[in-house]
């Protein structure tokens, strides 16, 4: 049976509700520490709060850039990313520009991600929004983001559809050992989480991390 110790360090404990309040962010941080999750994943406006709460503690602070559409300008994304890092963010989940991808404008798509990678120096997870892409577009997006220096390929924002085993397998096949794969969107159960890990994900974005830990605990009783 899979244990909490094996799965918890792969989880980005996520709260991306626009109306999230400070007490909820603090609770998220406390849960992440309690269960040993990899990060808390929150909007940029909450980064300073989370950084203060998690000071000298194991979980890192992850935030989202250009979220959820990816359709802001490159200059806006870069400013948002730099401000987040200045506020203490450890990881950046950046939504790619889907319009440029679908038009085949790989130059701007590459530059959009590469500028953030180079100027912030922090790990970037490129969000591909796989539910909206063809197979060829998934491959192209993955290759461009890898070349731009992304540390992770992330399946989804969760706003346009969720992670699938097939997409995780594809991204792992493309990325090999060069990159992490983050599955995100619709991960609600232990069964789903383990299927995605077995498919090749080494990070899971979910708001149900505590529920999944409870499932593990109950299964061990």
Among all residues, which ones are annotated catalytic? 93, 154, 182
Q: Which residues contact 142 (CB under 8 A, 6 or more apart)?
A: 128, 153, 170, 171, 174, 175
For 4-59, list the strands marked E by DSSP.
11-15, 39-42
Q: What tokens appear for 114 in the block?
A: 């590469």
Read off φ and ψ for residue 91, nearest 5 degrees. Answer: -140, 150
Considering only CA atoms, give the Rg of the chain. Answer: 16
């Amino acid at each position: 049976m899979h244990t909490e110790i094996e799965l918890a360090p792969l989880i980005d404990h996520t709260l991306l509700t626009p109306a999230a309040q400070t007490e909820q962010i603090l609770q998220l941080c406390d849960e992440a520490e309690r269960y040993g999750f990899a990060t808390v994943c929150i909007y940029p406006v909450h980064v300073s709060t989370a950084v203060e709460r998690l000071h000298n503690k194991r979980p890192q602070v992850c935030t989202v850039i250009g979220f959820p559409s990816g359709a802001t300008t490159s200059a806006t994304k870069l400013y948002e990313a730099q401000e987040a890092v200045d506020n203490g963010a450890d990881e950046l989940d950046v939504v790619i520009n889907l319009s440029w991808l679908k038009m085949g404008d790989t130059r701007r798509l590459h530059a959009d991600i590469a500028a953030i990678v180079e100027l912030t120096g922090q790990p970037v997870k490129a969000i591909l929004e796989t539910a909206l892409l063809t197979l060829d577009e998934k491959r192209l997006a993955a290759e461009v983001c890898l070349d731009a220096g992304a540390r992770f390929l992330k399946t989804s924002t969760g706003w346009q559809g969720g992670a699938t085993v097939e997409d995780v397998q594809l991204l792992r096949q493309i990325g090999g050992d060069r990159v992490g794969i983050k599955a995100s969107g619709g991960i609600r159960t232990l069964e789903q989480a383990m299927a995605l890990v077995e498919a090749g994900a080494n990070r899971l974005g979910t708001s149900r991390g505590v529920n999944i830990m409870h499932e593990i605990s109950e299964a061990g009783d």
